Amino acid sequence: MAEKSFKYVILGGGVAAGYAAREFVNQGVKFGELAIISKEAVAPYERPALSKAYLFPESPARLPGFHTCVGSGGERLLPEWYAEKGISLILGTEIVKADIGSKTLISAAGEIFKYHILVIATGSTVIRLTDFGVQGADSKNIFYLREVDDADKLVEAIKAKKNGKAVIVGGGYIGLELSAVMKINNLDVSMVYPEPWCMPRLFTAGIAAFYEGYYANKGIQIIKGTVAVGFNADADGEVKEVKLKDGRVLEADIVVVGVGGRPLTVLFKGQVEEEKGGIKTDSFFRTSVPDVYAVGDVATFPMKIYNEMRRVEHVDHSRKSAEHAVKAIFASEAGKSVDDYDYLPYFYSRSFNLSWQFYGDNVGDTVLFGDNNPASENPKFGSYWIKDGKVVGAFLESGTPEENKAIAKVARVQPQAESLEQLAKEGLTFACKI
Ligand code: FDA
Ligand code: NAD
């Protein structure tokens, strides 16, 4: 089969790829030099839309409406943009073998791609209940959500099972966002997760209590402290029941599973150094192998602010890491250098009329402030994390843009906190005066 050769190849066509492409153009990439190879059939898009507006019953978001780089307020890069810039979008093409020694990628159809510089941007894949051998987990109408194809299948099922019952397995990001959007679609929703409160990776018990109360008030049934151990299906193979470890059985027409993701590093196993489950990079996103970079969900990079190697599975970092890597590539070609990547963690989520942002590190003591009564008309509350007397993390629900900027600044500046009591009393005022 014919071989194609490019100066630069981005492997993966997700968020990081889109933002990298824009930066390649900013840096003056020449016509024909860059290719993006993606398993997906569409140009890079803002993945967060899939668990939110894509699933709305009224005026849902659809491509080409949310191609990158609209998510951060930039120009939307339509497929025509790539063509105009001479960037080859090689879509619907899964790479099944990577040989870093010979700088070669091979697709499932046997096409061969050569590169001089490779940017690995393969993102994450979902963890499946079938991976743990959960009985009946391959029944029809059990869904996972990662790519636009997955979202399309879910949209079809929502239409087919009007006013039916949905069970959401997992209490993390997917669990919380999908429970909300399924409820908005008028399904009867139950959520199941093993922990004592939702989103335990980030939320304190106090933060979680608000969302659990709010969801319960919307009519979502929350079942904590247990897991799905099996599924019963009807004669057509469609899921009908979810069996829980505590013996309960839930009726279900649709099941959505969000039990975590796993970075897609498998093509490079044994070829690049790994750390903490991701591909190890330096602060320019260079891997252990020359001419190979890794960005987005797959990269384990030096988080300068905490002097620690970390991996981040959120959209803001995927955008910024991609831009930083491309700047570093061009600087290095010009015999120059760029500053170290100095990232302040930023995560957010939206569901119903709620919207929260978090900046910094969720370690140390915590204080909760504001009105976190889920029954309030306009709840607004937050939390600070305090380590060694300094405020290192801040969370805010329903903040204004200025207030969100203020909590971001707190997390970056890490001001001293007089006492936890004082912080709790001052609440948002503390952030706004920094
Ligand atoms: P991303 O997953 O975007 O892209 C990887 C691409 O590589 C995909 O196109 C994939 O098909 C392709 N690929 C993988 N292996 C390949 C192979 N072998 N050959 C060819 N192509 C291959 N974050 C946040 O901060 N706020 C939010 O609200 C959300 N919401 C959200 C919703 C949903 C449904 C998901 C799944 C995720 C989020 N996220 C989020 C997380 C965020 O979307 C995620 O961190 C970024 O998309 C990561 O960007 P990457 O480019 O690294 O991977
Ligand atoms: P997650 O890690 O946020 O949450 C997984 C949840 O599933 C946890 O609560 C976990 O304890 C629970 N769980 C684990 N095993 C279980 C089991 N057997 N039964 C029931 N629950 C179980 O992962 P996710 O929600 O699946 O999200 C996947 C990826 O998508 C992550 O990378 C996430 O960052 C990303 N994402 C991010 C956002 C956002 O930032 N707003 C939104 C959606 C998705």
User: What confidence tens digit (pLDDT) does each residue in 77-113 have?
Assistant: 999 999 999 999 999 999 999 999 999 999 999 999 9
Distance, CA 365 to ligand 1 centroid (Å)? 32
Distance, CA 270 to ligand 1 centroid (Å)? 23
Task: Specify the CATH number for the domain of residue 409.
Answer: 3.30.390.30
The two tokens of residue 127 are: 């963890």
Kindly state whether residues 240 and 278 are assigned to the same domain: no
Of ligand 2's listed atoms, the one at least distance from the Cα of 175 is 25
Kindly state whether residues 143 and 236 are assigned to the same domain: yes
For residue 339, is it within any domain? no
Distance, CA 7 to ligand 1 centroid (Å)? 24
Over range 316-320, report the average pLDDT.
Answer: 98
* Residue 194 CB less than 6 A away from ligand 2: yes
Kindly state whether residues 110 and 9 are assigned to the same domain: yes
* Residue 47 CB less than 6 A away from ligand 1: yes
- Overall number of domains in the chain: 3
* Residue 62 pLDDT greater than 70, yes or no: yes
Kindly state whether residues 313 and 357 are assigned to the same domain: no
* Residue 173 pLDDT greater than 90, yes or no: yes
For residue 204, is it within any domain? yes
The domain in which residue 45 lies consists of 3-125+262-333
Kindly state whether residues 56 and 8 are assigned to the same domain: yes
ipTM attached to this prediction: 0.98
Dihedral sign from CA coordinates of 91, 95, 99, 105 = negative
For residue 342, is it within any domain? no
Of ligand 1's listed atoms, the one at least distance from the Cα of 44 is 9
* Residue 168 pLDDT greater than 70, yes or no: yes
Confidence band (pLDDT; 50, 70, 90) for 434?
Answer: confident
pLDDT digits (tens, 9 = 90+) for 380-430: 999 999 999 999 999 999 999 999 999 999 999 999 998 999 999 999 999
Domain end marker among 197, 229, 259: 259
Domain end marker among 302, 333, 364: 333
**How many angstroms separate the CA atoms of 81 and 402, rounded?**
34
Distance, CA 166 to ligand 2 centroid (Å)? 17
Residue 1: per-residue pLDDT: 66
Kindly state whether residues 9 and 57 are assigned to the same domain: yes
pLDDT digits (tens, 9 = 90+) for 355-382: 999 999 999 999 999 999 999 999 999 9
* Residue 18 pLDDT greater than 70, yes or no: yes
* Residue 374 CB less than 6 A away from ligand 2: no
For residue 345, is it within any domain? no
Residue 107: per-residue pLDDT: 98
Kindly state whether residues 111 and 202 are assigned to the same domain: no
Surface-to-core class of residue 406, CB atoms within 10 Å of its CB (0-12 exposed, 13-18 middle, 19+ buried): buried
* Residue 315 CB less than 6 A away from ligand 1: yes
Contact predicate 299/322, CB 8 Å: no
pTM recorded for the entire structure: 0.98
Task: Specify the CATH number for the domain of residue 189.
Answer: 3.50.50.60
Distance, CA 288 to ligand 1 centroid (Å)? 23
Of ligand 1's listed atoms, the one at least distance from the Cα of 318 is 49
Kindly state whether residues 385 and 290 are assigned to the same domain: no
Protein residue with least CA distance to atom 3, ligand 2:
172
